[in-house]
Chains A and B, each alone.
Chain A
Amino acid sequence: MGNVQPTLLRRFMPLIIFSVLVIFLAVGLTLNPREVPSPLIGKPAPEFELPLLLQEGSFSNKDLIGHVTLVNVWASWCFACRQEHETIKYLSRQGVRIIGLNYKDEASDAKQWLAKLGNPYQAIAADRDGRIAIDWGVYGAPETFLIDQQGIIRHKVIGPLSDQAKFDALMTVMETLNK
């Protein structure tokens, strides 16, 4: 009787090892390597001060305090930004405060783009050389950060917000902040 258990285990060992391997690989396949989790979540927005794109003046991290804000990194050369633009406009109409971070863009191109597609941003900070974006851990456009009233980064969306799953995930976190 005592002998049956070990031999049975030994016989099924390869199958068990194989199954564990399959589970690991299956999970690995569902992860998107393009989406690098941000270490900035739960931390205050990085300090910065940038000139505004459309008016005189500047925008700094202090201007983020006191409101729930979306900081949307976009550029006129970025195709996916065009894709998500309708979603950004929709959110703006819903009363969400959206600040644009114009990433490595020519001011004239950016203005033209807004004139053509509409401007949903309450303010746009121009990061001409992309230096501030490095502090935010940006590695491509579009990226969107959700900032709470205390100026803490609560969520980051990598890629266009028009993606339903990404949009829903953002909304879930945002609802907890507005309460």
Chain B
Amino acid sequence: MNKTLSIIMLAVALSFVVRAIAAPIETFKFDSPDTEKVFHKLSDELRCLVCQNQNIAESNADLAKDLRLEIYTMLMDGKTEDEIIDFMVQRYGDYVLYRPPFKPMTWLLWFGPLIVFIMGLIYAIRFMRSQSSEPSQESMSEEDIERVKNLHADLDAEQGEK
């Protein structure tokens, strides 16, 4: 038990190491820790268009490098987070955003999981109701009750013999 736990903890720890190593090494100098935070947030949330399953922060693609520099330059020019996101969306479309924007086109995307969950919930409740109501209300006739009583009596008698 203890051994399994330590292996799991090691695996979790290692996964952090791998993530830290995966980011290409570049040194940008920031004038404040806040700006640096925004830089990392942005490059984490923007998709690299060359290696589409990576964000701009982690990709080694040439374009990702250029875009990191672009984000850095804009931050140094005093641009806000929203302005930089707008800049990217104007050029590359909503596709660069890992977090899709909330608009009529994407409503299904945002609400879809909730709708599916509610449908499942309704189905589950209906199913459980039908399960619990059936035997008590309908099927037991006088005859059946008599038979059950007899069976119980037989069973008691059998156990009494042992």
Per the bound structure, the CA–CA distance linking A40 and B93 in Å amounts to 8
Q: Which residue of A has the minimal Cβ distance to B93? A: A39
In the complex, what residues of A have CB within 8 A of residue B89's CB?
39
Say whether A134 contacts B93, CB under 8 Å.
no
Q: Which residue of B has the minimal Cβ distance to A40? A: B91
In the complex, what residues of B have CB within 8 A of residue A136's CB?
91
Minimum CB–CB distance from A102 to chain B (whole Å) comes to 15
Per the bound structure, the CA–CA distance linking A131 and B62 in Å amounts to 12
Minimum CB–CB distance from A61 to chain B (whole Å) comes to 15
In the complex, what residues of B have CB within 8 A of residue A129's CB?
66
Q: Which residue of A has the minimal Cβ distance to B53? A: A33
B-side interface residues, number (CB < 8 Å): 15
A51 touches B (CB below 8 Å): no
Say whether A134 contacts B70, CB under 8 Å.
yes
Say whether A39 contacts B66, CB under 8 Å.
no
In the complex, what residues of B have CB within 8 A of residue A134's CB?
66-67, 70, 91
B90 touches A (CB below 8 Å): yes
Per the bound structure, the CA–CA distance linking A81 and B137 in Å amounts to 76
Per the bound structure, the CA–CA distance linking A3 and B94 in Å amounts to 48
Per the bound structure, the CA–CA distance linking A131 and B92 in Å amounts to 14
In the complex, what residues of A have CB within 8 A of residue B49's CB?
36, 139-140
Q: Which residues of B contact A (CB under 8 A)?
A: 49-50, 52, 62-63, 66-67, 70, 89-95
